[in-house]
Amino acid sequence: MFKKTIAYTAAAAILLGTTACGESSSQQETAESSVTESKNDSVTGEQLSIVCTIFPEYDWVKQILGDHASHAEITYLLDSGVDLHSYQPTAADMAKIADCDLFVYIGGESDEWVEDALAEAVNPDMQTINLMEVMGDAAKEEVVKEGMEPEDEEDGEDADEPEYDEHVWLSLKNAKTLCTEITDRLSILDSANKDAYKANLDAYTAQLDKLDGDFKALIDGASQKVLVFGDRFPFRYFVDDYGLDYFAAFAGCSAETEASFDTIVFLAEKMDELGCGTIFTIENSDHKIAQTVIDNTKEKNQNIAEMNSLQSVTKDQ
């Protein structure tokens, strides 16, 4: 049944598609490489220093560097597993960013601290990649769908200003766009190896295309194409890519943690209506909302499955 398969295949597609298409993408690898090798251009004779905020960025960089990854210092800032929505950089993090050669960050609301970090930069030749800016018009506005818990506006927020969904890495199509940008920036910093970087990009893109095709085939053959989440929903880009629909307790970037009775009942009724045998959560969930939804369905025997949004990956996972 699709409802059961999607619990595992969707999570695998996201995890494998954005982070594990090559041998060098294992999450078991350490978050920094300390081997030094000389390079050309603006960083001649020094180790290439690259700082990434989230795990997908870190892994994409390693995929594009390929064999050259062992000759660069790649820092993954959120390697302790802290959620990106609550991360605040340490003094050491700020110092690392200040003199790095390439800084890759999301550029959404969770990265409000980046402006201060870049203001302290001491490397005039630093290259920066803002994922949201790279996506341009392809970045999607965050939506509050039927049944979702509305989010309270914080003081000083403009209620009419659109909020954009920053979870752009949860799309294989977006991954190709963002990896191309990473390749371009690395080629500027290290033009002597630009052909190798382009070859690595081509190989990685081919793997993403195959995975994309496999997943489209699975979706095309499915009779049920709706996901129910008893949690935040950061997978907007993913479901839009494959024509899936969803209902969830909260929007992807919501700070809310308590679902109202109306939201619980709405999701429970949707599960009954659709005949869903599985309700989903994101990683690190305590499953309380999902279980409460199940308890309010007619059958009360549905499964809870996790889809990993790669927002809080530790370097040891």
How do residues 224-256 score in pLDDT, each as one tens digit? 899 999 999 999 999 999 999 999 999 887 777
Does a structural domain hold residue 301?
A: no
pTM for the predicted model, two decimal places: 0.83
Per-residue confidence (pLDDT) for residue 153, from 0 to 100:
60
Rounded CA-CA distance 286/267 in Å is 17
Spatial separation of the C-alpha atoms in residues 91 and 83, rounded to whole Å: 18
- Residue 36 identity: T
Q: For residue 32, give the CATH number of its domain.
A: 3.40.50.1980
Mean pLDDT of all residues in 66-87: 87
The answer to whether residue 114 sits within a structural domain is: yes
Give the closest residue to 97 by CA, choosing from 81, 66, 82, 75.
75
Range of the domain at 42: 22-132+163-213
Does the pLDDT of residue 29 top 80, yes or no? no
Give 90's DSSP letter.
-
C-alpha to C-alpha distance for 182 and 72, rounded to whole angstroms: 14
State the DSSP string of 263-306: HHHHHHHHHHHHT-SEEEEETT---HHHHHHHHTSSS---EEEE
Rounded alpha-carbon distances, angstroms, from residue 123 to 63, 89, 118, 127, 187: 25, 19, 10, 9, 18
Classify residue 279: in a domain, yes or no: no
Query: Cα 255 to the chain's mean position, in Å?
Result: 17
Note whether residue 311 is domain-resident: no
As given in the structure block, the two tokens for residue 306 are 């996790």
- Flag whether pLDDT at 154 surpasses 50: yes
Q: Is the pLDDT of residue 80 over 90?
A: no
Question: Cα(104)–Cα(63) distance, rounded to whole angstroms?
Answer: 14
Q: What is the pLDDT of residues 272-303, one digit of tens each?
A: 999 999 999 998 899 999 999 999 999 999 99
| pLDDT band at residue 2 under the 50/70/90 scheme | very low
User: Total structural domains in the chain?
Assistant: 1
CA dist., res. 226 & res. 203, Å (int)? 32
In a domain? residue 74? yes
Which residues lie closer than 8 Å to 142 by C-beta, 6 or more apart?
162, 163, 164, 165, 236, 251, 252, 253
Residue 127 lies in a domain: yes
Q: Note the pLDDT of residue 241.
A: 95
Task: Identify the pLDDT of residue 32.
Answer: 36
pLDDT of 9 higher than 90: no
Is-contact 51 97, C-beta < 8 A? yes
Q: Is residue 253 part of a domain?
A: no
- Quote the percentage of the chain above a pLDDT of 90: 65
| pLDDT over 80 at 148, yes or no | yes
Please give the C-alpha separations between residue 214 and each of 13, 17, 236, 300, in angstroms, as whole numbers. Answer: 9, 11, 20, 33
> Quick check: is 54 in a domain?
yes
